[in-house]
Amino acid sequence: MVLSVAEKSYLYDSLASQPLIRPDGRLHTQFRPIEIFTDFLPSSNGSSRIIASDGSECIVSIKSKVVDHTVETDLLQVDINIAGERDDSMIVETLTSLLHKVLTSEDGIDVKKLQLTKKYSFKIFVDVLIISTYSYPASLISMGIYCALNSTWLPKIISAFDDLEVAELPTFHDYDLVKLDVKSPLIFVLAIVGDNIFLDPASNESEVANNGLIITWSPQGGKVISPVKTIALNDTFIKGFNPILLKKGIKLVEENASSVAQALETL
């Protein structure tokens, strides 16, 4: 969205005022409505499609493979595609690196739940396709992954757990599936305007933000985990902010994240 200088100035003043006034009337903790469909890709183990009210749309597919975890230690792999962007573009590589860190974070996904036997584990491939995006899509993607993993069913193992004595590959039941029980961390994007900080900035709000924060929250233990970092949501309004706002932002996420997770859980 291209805003004129006057529009930007008006928007900035209203977002920086006390209390803040958002252009769509939301509270500072309020998300835009989203629509989610799950388990609709027949050839994937799990899938989700998530559409934001501004038309941003993202599809996540979960696939799995049995690997020897003594050789392959990385049991989660994220691949991100954005329509119209090259694979080596800044936004794609940055998001891939961020999502990889989020999923492999120490307090992120419990990889023990992927273990099949003493030697073999499931490796999870998360493929993300962003069809259209208008604001920074990290939060949308993480919700998509959360829902997709929540709807993932994996083949049921019928061979023995202890395979060290007999060198045997795990064998699976022909049609019985087991629900994957992992919860992926959620990413929250916050925008800072003046001395205000608020959740889920829309594209017009991002354009006048003085700075942004990416905060990761893990449903396990319900706490904020790394990675946490600042992000430049535009390149004109960007400047430094009061250290107190960092603390405020983390608190904001801690207070509201569980209700977001709950909403996604009811699907």
Binding site for another protein (CB under 8 A): 87-88, 90, 93-94, 96-98, 100-101, 105-106, 167-169, 171, 211, 213, 223-232, 235-236, 238-243, 245-247, 250-251, 254
Instruction: Give residues with Cβ within 8 angstroms of 26, minimum separation 6.
Output: 32, 200
Instruction: Give residues with Cβ within 8 angstroms of 177, minimum separation 6.
Output: 153, 154, 155, 156
Closest approach, Cβ 82 to another protein, in A, equals 14
Nearer to another protein, 75 or 245 (CB): 245
Closest approach, Cβ 212 to another protein, in A, equals 8
The packing angle between helices 243-265 and 138-150, to 10°, is: 30
Nearer to another protein, 134 or 237 (CB): 237
Distance CA 5, CA 10 (A): 9
Closest approach, Cβ 116 to another protein, in A, equals 15
Closest approach, Cβ 59 to another protein, in A, equals 20
Dump strand ranges (E) for 159-222: 172-179, 186-193, 196-199, 211-218
How many whole angstroms from its chain centre is CA 153?
20
Counting beta carbons within 10 angstroms of the beta carbon of residue 201, is it exposed (0 to 12), middle (13 to 18) or buried (19 or more)?
buried
Coil, strand or helix at 256? helix
Closest approach, Cβ 107 to another protein, in A, equals 8
Nearer to another protein, 44 or 211 (CB): 211
Coil, strand or helix at 32? coil
Nearer to another protein, 25 or 240 (CB): 240
Coil, strand or helix at 206? helix
The packing angle between helices 90-104 and 138-150, to 10°, is: 50
Q: Quick check: 127 and 152 in contact, CB under 8 A?
A: no
Nearer to another protein, 7 or 254 (CB): 254
Instruction: Give residues with Cβ within 8 angstroms of 41, minimum separation 6.
Output: 47, 59, 61
Nearer to another protein, 46 or 185 (CB): 185
Closest approach, Cβ 15 to another protein, in A, equals 18
Closest approach, Cβ 232 to another protein, in A, equals 3
Instruction: Record the tokens describing residue 172, joined without a space.
Output: 């699976």
Nearer to another protein, 27 or 169 (CB): 169
